[in-house]
Amino acid sequence: CATVEAAETMAHGGPDGILISSPLAAPWQLHRLRRLLLRGADIMSVVDCEAHLLGLSSAAESVGRKVGVLVEIEVGVGRTGC
């Protein structure tokens, strides 16, 4: 899923795991992530900086869960996803 909103929709269908491909940084995004985790969703998210990683970690720890991460790395071509 590209967004936490799309992940919420997917969670209703009950897939085994959901990847959120855009970094979650805003407080409202992390709040919605916490709600997903409380519902038992298995979430993995992309991070591209330490601040995003810390936000995910804090959100997950606050509800006693873990979130998988994929680290997005800029390799010198001015964009990611290459």
Per-residue pLDDT of 34-76, as tens digits, reads: 999 998 889 999 998 899 999 999 999 999 999 999 988 877 8
Quick check: 82 pLDDT over 60? no
Q: Which one, of 20, 15, 64, lies nearest residue 44 by Cα?
A: 20
How far CA 3 is from CA of 25, 70, 75, 76, 78, in Å, comes to 11, 15, 24, 25, 22
Please give the biggest Cα pair distance in the chain.
Answer: 39
The model's pTM is 0.82
- Mean pLDDT throughout 23-28? 90
Assign 12 a pLDDT band (cuts: 50, 70, 90): confident
